[in-house]
Structure 1
Amino acid sequence: MITRPSLKTIFVLTNLLFFFSCNQQQQEQEQTSSSHSVDPVAGEHHFISGYEPITNDSLVNVVIEIPAGTDAKWEVEKESGHIAWEYRDGEPRVVQYIGYPGNYGMVPRTLAGDGDTIDVLVLGAPIERGEIVETRIIGVLEMIDDDEQDDKLIAVTTDSHFNRVNNMEELDLHFRGVSTIIETWFENYKGSDFNVEIIGIRDVDRAWEILRESVEAYGN
């Protein structure tokens, strides 16, 4: 008997493929430029210690490591504070999945449960690697990665078409399917060889609780 995919599965796959097609050109440019250079991105200051996590207007500073729609895995190095291409087994790491469903980065001066800075997914059009953007936190994807807490804050910029969104309820109301895409992507992007457990998406209050805990942990 042939099992037909559910409507939810079709919906999620359709949205993921649409996102991928919209960002394919950006991803190809990213891969081309990255393949010719592995020079790290150095900011004006150390990307982890040199910037405040939260502004006076209660916006959250995010350092962009990976532009939306791309798949080369860059990250901020703890010692140098530069953004460099992550290497695994001697090879530059490329995510074996469709490109990131948002701009991926981190909040400076934070310490999360996995011993790194807290991760953030900033929704919207691609933002250049190394940019520091002021964002509004709207929620968090709580997840376990290889037995470590590895939550992903979800944020929007105030100058994007997501600027009217203040929480996950509003995101689901105005941009149907986005939260499902986020869950689906992070559950599957590492493949079946890694133990990733999605706990679920929580709203803005829980996101701020996790963020404040990470800021306090960095200061201790």
Structure 2
Amino acid sequence: MSLSKVTRGDTPNRFNVIIEIPAYAGTVKYEVDKDTQCLTVDRFMKTALQYPANYGYVPDTLCGDGDPLDVLVLTPEPLVPGCVIEARPIGVLHMSDEAGEDAKLLALPTEKACPMYANMQDITDIPELVLDQIKHFFEHYKDLDQGKWVKLDGYGNKAEALTAVEDAVALYKP
């Protein structure tokens, strides 16, 4: 099946995430090509940092940077690039970069996929160390890229994450 056929799902409380980059899998930045829908190597990051969670996007959404809504999915194991997982929002990392607003949604798998996270409902349920690792990664992952920058504006709770999903759905025009 083509990734272009994957729907966003039942937003804003549950949605599909297409995983591009697995957690802790090196410095390769994979990206789904918008035209071919193939998973491609975008680049090797210049910093020696690895994504601290599975990284992907919600299809059929659009954000201020011109891309779909970015999502970090926390799971007990790294996920395979190109797979689809149903997730639920628990928070958002507000940030911007040289391309514009670039918020990162924090999500967990649905209970069906991973019941061990069933009791986690909001960002305050996530260990502080995990949140610090995510923040540290995004503060520094572009440090060696000339002309690129990142500004973090803190974490938001589940309500703010739901608003981010709704806004990204509203901006999307097929």
Q: TM-score, normalised by structure 1?
A: 0.70
- Which ranges of structure 1 fall in alignment gaps of 5 or more residues? 1-43, 87-91
Give % identity.
Answer: 33
Cα contact 2:62–2:169 (8 A) shared by 1: yes
Cα contact 2:97–2:149 (8 A) shared by 1: yes
Tell me the residue number matched to 1:219: 173
Partner-residue secondary structure (3-state), 1:180: helix
Partner-residue secondary structure (3-state), 1:110: coil
Q: Which runs of 4+ in 1 moved over 6 A?
A: none
1:195 alignment partner AA: W
Cα displacement (A) at 1:150? 0.6
* RMSD over equivalenced CA pairs, Å: 1.9
For residue 93 of structure 2, the aligned residue among 141, 163, 187 is 141
Which is further off, 52-61 or 210-219? Answer: 52-61
Tell me the residue number matched to 1:184: 136
Tell me the residue number matched to 1:17: none
Partner-residue secondary structure (3-state), 2:34: coil
Cα contact 1:106–1:120 (8 A) shared by 2: yes
Q: Distance in 2 between matches of 1:67 and 1:52?
A: 21
Partner-residue secondary structure (3-state), 1:120: strand
Cα contact 2:139–2:152 (8 A) shared by 1: yes
Structure 1, residues 61-119: CA drift from partner, whole Å, max 9, x if none? Answer: 00000000022100111111121111xxxxx4335222110000010011111001111
- Which ranges of structure 2 fall in alignment gaps of 5 or more residues? none
Aligned 1:13-52 pairs, distance under 5 A: 44-45=1-2, 47=3, 49-52=4-7
Tell me the residue number matched to 1:67: 22
If each structure's strand is expressed as a fraction of its own residues, which one has the higher value?
A: 2
Aligned 1:1-220 pairs, distance under 5 A: 44-45=1-2, 47=3, 49-55=4-10, 58-70=13-25, 71-86=27-42, 92-124=43-75, 125-146=77-98, 148-157=100-109, 158=111, 159=114, 161-171=116-126, 175-191=127-143, 193=146, 194-219=148-173
Q: Distance in 1 between matches of 2:22 and 2:92?
A: 19
Cα displacement (A) at 1:215? 1.1
1:101 alignment partner AA: P
Structure with bigger RCO (C-alpha 8 Å, 6+ apart): 2
Partner-residue secondary structure (3-state), 2:28: coil
Q: TM-score, normalised by structure 2?
A: 0.88
